[in-house]
């Protein structure tokens, strides 16, 4: 990726961090600050994508999908991005934005539990 495109992607990610959706905000309030010692980044650039949340230690991508993600074109793009991220060795965990709005605590617990399991599984014996 050339320097200009790289810089533009990081600027876009920075803008996304300032304008989280309500469901992303509710989840971020529970994931920030390294709960259970697990660090997440929000609106993190990975390859050609900017993911909602990323945990490096677990190689876990968390996407909070709003109603637009059910539209055919967006659903197809989600499939492509998921396939690319998984080909890089990451797991993509998708949450429904409406579910996060209804019960953000359970959504965060699910994310943290999955991250903890992946971190444990990745540690050498």
Q: Is the pTM of this model over 0.95?
A: no
User: How much is the pLDDT for 11?
Assistant: 73
Superfamily covering domain 3-122: VSR Endonuclease (3.40.960.10)
pLDDT at 19: 76
Please enumerate in sequence order all residues whose Cβ is within 8 A of that of 10, keeping only pairs 6 or more positions apart, or say none: 45
The residue extents of the domains of the chain are 3-122
pLDDT (0 to 100) of residue 51: 95
pLDDT score, position 3? 77
Low-confidence spans in the chain with pLDDT less than 50: 69
Tell me whether residue 116 is exposed, middle or buried, using C-beta atoms within 10 angstroms of its C-beta: 0 to 12, 13 to 18, 19 or more: middle
CB atoms within 10 A of CB 53: 23
Q: Quick one: pLDDT at residue 69?
A: 46
CA distance 29 to 100: 12
Please give the pLDDT value at position 102.
97
For residue 12, the model assigns a pLDDT of 64
Measured between alpha carbons, how far is 125 from 78 in angstroms, rounded to an integer? 35
Q: What pLDDT, on the 0 to 100 scale, is given for residue 24?
A: 94
In contact, 100 and 27? CB cutoff 8 Å: yes
Identify the three-state secondary structure at position 60.
strand
């Amino acid at each position: 990726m050339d320097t200009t495109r790289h810089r533009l992607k990081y600027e876009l990610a920075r803008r996304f961090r300032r304008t989280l959706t309500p469901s992303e905000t509710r989840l971020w309030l529970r994931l920030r600050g390294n709960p259970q010692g697990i660090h997440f980044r929000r609106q993190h650039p990975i390859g050609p994508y900017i993911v909602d949340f990323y945990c490096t230690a677990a190689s876990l991508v968390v996407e909070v999908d709003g109603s637009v993600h059910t539209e055919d074109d967006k659903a197809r793009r989600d499939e492509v991005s998921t396939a690319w991220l998984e080909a890089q060795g990451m797991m993509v965990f998708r949450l429904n934005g409406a579910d996060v709005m209804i019960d953000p605590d359970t959504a965060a617990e699910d994310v943290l539990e999955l991250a903890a399991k992946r971190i444990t599984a990745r540690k050498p014996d």
